[in-house]
Amino acid sequence: MANQKLLEVFLNIKRILCKSDYYIHVPKKIIHVTNSENMIPHLMGMQYIGRPDMFTGDKGAYMIKKGRLKYNSLEKLVQKYYRGKSKQDSMLAMVNGKIDNLYRIEDMLSTYSVLYLYDVAANPESELQTDYLLVNHLDDRVLQLGMVKADKKNVQEYHCNSFMVDYKANDDYDLHYRNLTQRYEISKIVREDKITKRSEVIYQSKAAEERELAGIEKMFKASGIKENTKLIKAIFRLNQRFGVYHTIQMLSDFDALMEKCRDKRDEALVKDFISLWRRSKDGI
């Protein structure tokens, strides 16, 4: 039902952003991103449909979950708090753009995106307040996810605090990042389940893949193991699936590898590796 759209979007983005932590690997640093459901209403644009803090934070999350704030009420709220049809239409379009594209955050984190260090001074026309900006280009639009440092001492964690959709047909579609000079190429992004602590590489750049394959080959040579292309690729797939670089010692412990398996797909991956490892003339 259309009137359940806010709740459906809320629950879906909660699954994407709050069930897991994300580790974004860039040169010389790893950015740890963790989220709670209280930030979701802000990402949905609920700060634009009423008075400040009226539908954001824990209050906004509660109202959406309990059905007190519904999709069909957005237009009436915008009409109440903004004057002039042009302004009302533009605000409603912006909020709907966020709501309709939030599910794409999952793709942003698993496909090629660019990370910028956000500099407010470089963007005086923008009201955005964030520390990092993740930018992902689609054919007709640009998705942008802001990440701000958590308000905790001695903890290097970041929260998603803004989500924007800008369409390339508009002249200012690149307003938020066009003047930013500090750009990071992401080598990989690891997703870690908050409860089980199990990890998986969900994005890895081509250059990072090549470095990792070369590293596995060097590990073979250092251990006196004959080069085996199929086996190297099988180990790479294990690294991807479980979000960790496996050493020779880890690879030799078949029981520990099987204990990592979460489903039949994992079991097939591990059993394929074990079979290749055992068939290798120089296998351990």
> Which residue type occupies 3?
N
Q: Is pLDDT of 57 > 90?
A: yes
In this prediction, residue 279 carries a pLDDT of 84
55 band by pLDDT with thresholds 50, 70 and 90: very high
In this prediction, residue 1 carries a pLDDT of 52
Q: What order of strands is seen across the sheet that includes strand 141-149?
A: 183-185, 114-117, 132-137, 141-149, 158-167, 29-33, 20-26, 188-193, 199-204
pLDDT per position as a tens digit, 170-195: 988 998 998 999 999 999 999 999 99
Q: Average pLDDT, stretch 46-66?
A: 92
pLDDT per position as a tens digit, 200-214: 999 999 999 999 999
Q: Is pLDDT of 124 > 80?
A: no
In this prediction, residue 223 carries a pLDDT of 86
